[in-house]
Structure 1
Amino acid sequence: MPFLGLLAFVVVVPTVLAGTYRQDIGIAHLDRFLQERAYNATKFAVEAYNRNPESAILKFNEQIQESLEATNNSTRRKLNGGERCMATNPIDRCWRCKSGWAKNRQALGECARGFGEGTTGGMGGCMYVVTDASDDDMLNPKKGTLRHAVIQDKPLWIIFKRSMIITLKQELIMNHDKTIDGRGVQVHIAYGAGITIQFVHNIIIHGIRIHHIVPKSGGMIRDSLGHYGFRTVSDGDGISIFGASRVWVDHVSLDHCSDGLIDAIMASSALTISNCKFNHHNDVMLLGANDNHRGDVIMQVTVAFNRFGKGLVQRMPTCRWGFFHVVNNDYNKWEKYAIGGSRNPIIISQGNRFRAPDNVHAKEVTHRDHYPRHVWKRWKWRSVNDLFLNGAFFVASGDHSEIDQNLKKYMVQAKDGSAVGQLTRYAGMLRCTHARPC
């Protein structure tokens, strides 16, 4: 068993639970229900932890290679009497160009890749149609609202009857085994609170836009049919992933949130963030709670096929403790840095395209927080086949000699950053219609 795998199983359960009780987690206190939910969430996260993370990278590389080869051989498939569809990465090829996607929405539940592979969301459950954009009752949500849907105790595939803007009065706290699927309409979560995925597992967020999220005062909020509790002030995150596992965020557009666009903390693991579009924000993505929360050693995240676009400053992502595969993303003119971290995370940056800003003092892709060079030089950060434009450069560190030579050889052969434009072409919320390929 690799060292990280052994370490996680030995220390993670007690450390993450102790850390959970010590941290400010937005709950006035952990009652018996939440203590049990937190403990079970930790068990699910440990079970989802991949003790050989390099194998996940190899598999993902193979899927990307197969996708690009298939795209080059038959890029544009004619569907529905001449309609053309292009799906350029392995996640999109799983579902987008199938003519019956709208009749078989739950097939999306087979399409997660990377560390989040196996996330099925509400697959196998009933379809729940959101018909009401209001959010007026935190304790007894009205049937037909998004809040009523996400607190149910059974798997649900949540879709929307029409385009709508949902302004959340307080954070939307999700229950297990849910998919929020905005395909076919335009769904905005905006001008209110964001989405909280806390102490749960198996969640898919797909095909929506989240923007202008602000802190909310808190209060009594229901998180399942049988439980509610007092929440403190929310941070203003677009999506907050807290002590959760098997979470996949795909084709979501995010911008203008008061805190992070996506934060994943407190021993969350088995996460994939893919095909998203990020714009106009300072602290974009935080992966890891803080330098003292050792439970984050089990955090494993794939960040793939995303576009980091206009008006972004830093944290794309910033990482602590865990293992992070940042692959085939498009970075365009950050203000401070692109990828950062602290507390000895393993970061593999592979096949990304980094276009540096014109500022001569902000050309470096990487940034280490709080630690001198003699400490961070041992952290395992490496760049493989990245494309650097406008003076961008990546400062690698650490000894990678223990990496399997066959995997290392394959990584050298993987597609480089020149393929990023093709792989990320359709990032963000898609404008799908039910009668056509998406």
Structure 2
Amino acid sequence: MEGIKLVGFILALSLAALVPCLEAHIGEFDEYWKKRADEAQKHALDAYHPNPENVTAHFNSRVHRVLDRTNITRRQLSMHKYVGPCLATNPIDRCWRCRKDWAKNRKRLAKCVLGFGRRTTGGLYGKIYVVYDGSDDNVVNPKRGTLRHAVIQKQPLWIIFARSMIIRLSQELLVTSHKTIDGRGANVHIAYGAGIMIQFSRNVIIHGLHIHDIITKPGGLIRDSYNHLGFRTRSDGDGISIFGSTNIWIDHVSMARCQDGLIDAIQGSTAITISNGHYTHHNDVMLFGASDTYPQDKIMQVTVAFNHFGRGLIQRMPRCRWGFFHVVNNDYTHWLMYAIGGSSQPTIISQGNRFIAPPNLAAKEVTKRDYASPDVWRKWTWRSQGDLLMNGAFFVQSGQPLKKKPFGRLDMIKAKPGTFVTRLTRMSGTLGCKPNRPC
């Protein structure tokens, strides 16, 4: 009933307040973009889960079963660098990584996502598109064989790379629906140029890319689909920006040093999983919900799992507004200000994470709440369950625990505690996958 009421509330919001927010980076909000925005809003409401606890419980049961079946000793896991047979210790990786035929059966990856983005299939039902040209010197009529040409095509595509390359995007890369960008088997860097924009799209997988040193670009005429050319304003300098989009999965990326955020998800984006990433050397790491004046983000539901938040990070891992966020089994080894923050009454469920606080006594608190007094934020549901808090780290909880649901035996299993995190996140970031060998 709560979900139905929320959907009704969102649909009743004034278009006069909505449209100006939707025009970010779009120089001319023409009929093409109006249609894209309307379709995106419909897909977001369809993807919204009225009982998000069901999704978190299902995720937790899968983690538990994988750990029970993995026979690796603690001594092996404490090695500084693992050398040996394929080690896939979380349920996403276990689904595909230890198969020698991964290169011949790339699309199996689409069956492996868990969490709120679990229905994301990317280009599963499309052809393989091979990127063999790393240039990006024509954004109006992209050359065949370039990444920009691939991502604007109408049909679903599973995009792979013929060789290792550095792609310097001359303008932001606009990814249309039903695409997988699969960097396995090559060393692919999106760097020293603009970042990736997923705007009013759905069903997108980004896997196995290095994304770093992203800068703002001035905008201009850019082809944003196979049959539309539009004017774009200046880009923000985000590594990956998810804007009004649904069913998004970002997995095994390595990211650092972007001019704005590493990953932003805003404007009613939902059904998102961000997993197995390695993040370093950045200030504002992840932003979910860009404005305290945009309650449409109440439908935002994001899973952040098995990631390593590493050296040189300062804050926002993530920073959340309005929605429901499951932060599970991540390794927080570095931050300078705080790890998890938010405003506008988000629900944040932190389960089985490891938080190692910095030496600074003023930064021991994991959490940070903005723009609200204690008598307001103490009603927000921010819960810590099974987290490992080290070096003086502490998590300030608030609100009531989530209500228990009448799930089956497996669904009621709790997440593994934070002591398992080094095991679950050991292979975070991009992988050195080679054909005919497990990754």
Distance 2:59 2:410 in 1: 15
Report whether the alignment pairs 1:216 with 2:214: no
What residue in structure 2 maps to residue 31 of structure 1?
A: 30
State the 1:333 CA deviation: 2.4
Contact 1:9-1:46 at 8 Å conserved across structures: yes
After superposition, the C-alpha distances for 1:301-355 in whole angstroms (9 at most, x for unaligned) are 0000000000000000000000000000000120000000000000000000000
Give 1:27 shift.
1.0
CA distance in 1 between partners of 2:304 and 2:97 (Å): 20
What amino acid is the match of 1:46? L
Whether the 8 Å contact between 1:54 and 1:407 is mirrored in structure 2 is no
For 1:388 and 1:35, the matched residues in 2 are separated by: 47
Measured after TM superposition, the shift of residue 244 of structure 1 is 0.1
Residue 228 of structure 1 deviates from its aligned partner by 1.6
- In the TM superposition, residue 8 of structure 1 has moved relative to its aligned partner by 2.9
Helix, strand or coil at the partner of 1:134: coil
Tell me the SS of whatever aligns to 2:32.
Answer: helix
Q: Secondary structure at the match of 2:71?
A: helix
Q: Residue type matched to 1:432 in 2? A: C
Return the alpha-carbon distance in structure 2 between the equivalents of residues 365 and 411 of structure 1.
27
1:49 maps onto 2:48 in alignment = yes
Counterpart check, 1:271 vs 2:272: yes
User: Which SS does the other structure have where 1:6 is aligned?
Assistant: helix
Report if aligned partners of 2:100, 2:435 keep a CA contact under 8 Å in 1.
no
Any conservation in 2 of the 1:199–1:244 contact (CA below 8 Å)?
yes
Q: Decide whether aligned partners of structure 1 residues 36 and 307 sit closer, same or farther in structure 2, where only a CA change above 3 A counts.
A: same
Q: Which runs of 5+ in 2 are unaligned?
A: 77-83
Normalising to structure 1: TM-score of the pair? 0.95
Counterpart residue number, 2:360: 359
Could you say which residue in structure 1 is the equivalent of 2:386? 385
The CA deviation at 1:404 is 3.5
Change (3 A) 1:190 1:287: same
Q: How does 1:250-399 map to 2 (within 5 A)?
A: 250-399=251-400
CA gap 1:253/1:52 in 2 versus in 1, 3 angstroms: same
Quote the Cα distance in structure 1 between the aligned partners of 2:100 and 2:29: 47
The corresponding residue for 1:8 is: 6
Q: Counterpart amino acid of 1:7?
A: K
Residue 62 (structure 1) aligns with: 61
Runs of 4+ in 1 over 6 A off after TM superposition: 73-76, 405-412
Q: TM-score, normalised by structure 2?
A: 0.95
Alignment CA distance shift 1:401-1:281 (3 Å): closer
| SS of equivalent residue, structure 2 residue 70 | helix
Instruction: Give the Cα separation in 2 of the matches to 1:18 and 1:426.
Output: 47
| 3-state SS of 1:420 partner | helix
Residue 203 to residue 229, structure 1, CA distance change in 2 (3 Å)? same
Percent identity between matched residues is 57
CA contact (8 A) 1:8 1:46 kept: no
Identify the residue that residue 150 of structure 1 maps to in structure 2: 151
Aligned partner of residue 393 in structure 2, secondary structure:
coil
Bigger shift: residues 350-359 or 42-51: 42-51
Q: Secondary structure at the match of 2:44?
A: helix
Secondary structure of 1:400's partner?
coil
1:144 Cα offset (Å): 0.3
1:358-386, Cα deviation, whole Å (9 max, x unpaired): 00000000000111111101000000000
Q: CA deviation at 1:16?
A: 8.6
- Listed as ranges, the gaps of 5+ residues in structure 1 are 77-82
Alignment of 1:86-101 (within 5 A): 86-101=87-102
**CA separation of 1:14/1:252 partners in 2, compared to 1, >3 Å: closer, same or farther?**
farther
Give the distance between the partners of 1:312 and 1:6, measured in 2 at CA: 39
One-letter amino acid matched to 2:358: P
Secondary structure at the residue paired with 1:358?
coil
Q: Corresponding residue for 1:119?
A: 120
In angstroms, what is the RMSD of aligned CA positions? 2.0
1:234 and 1:109 map into 2 onto residues whose CA distance is 30
Within 2, Cα distance between the matches of 1:170 and 1:431?
Answer: 28
Per-residue CA deviations over 1:410-433 (Å, capped at 9, x if unaligned) read: 778431000000000000010111
Q: 1:266 to 1:423 in 2, by over 3 A?
A: same
SS at match of 1:85: coil
Q: CA offsets, 1:279-322, max 9 Å, x none?
A: 00000000012101011000000000000000000000000000
| Residue correspondences, number | 431
The match for 2:70 is: 71
Is the CA contact 2:331–2:425 (under 8 Å) kept in the aligned structure 1? yes
Contact in 2 for aligned 1:356/1:363 (Cα 8 Å): yes
The letter for the 1-side match of 2:52 is P
The reply to whether residue 434 of structure 1 matches residue 438 of structure 2 is no
Return the alpha-carbon distance in structure 2 between the equivalents of residues 163 and 19 of structure 1: 45
* Distance in 2 between residues matched to 1:209 and 1:254, nearest whole Å: 6
1:73-120 deviation line (CA, Å, top 9, x unaligned): 7999xxxxxx82111001001100111110010111111100000100
Could you tell me which residue of structure 2 aligns to residue 79 of structure 1? Answer: none
CA deviation after TM superposition for structure 1 residue 188, in Å: 0.1
CA separation in 2, counterparts of 1:401 and 1:325?
A: 12
Paired with 1:407 and 1:325, the residues of 2 have a C-alpha distance of 20
**Cα displacement (A) at 1:15:** 3.5
CA contact 2:60–2:413 (8 Å) conserved in 1? no
SS class of match (1:418): helix
* Structure 2: distance between partners of 1:45 and 1:218: 27
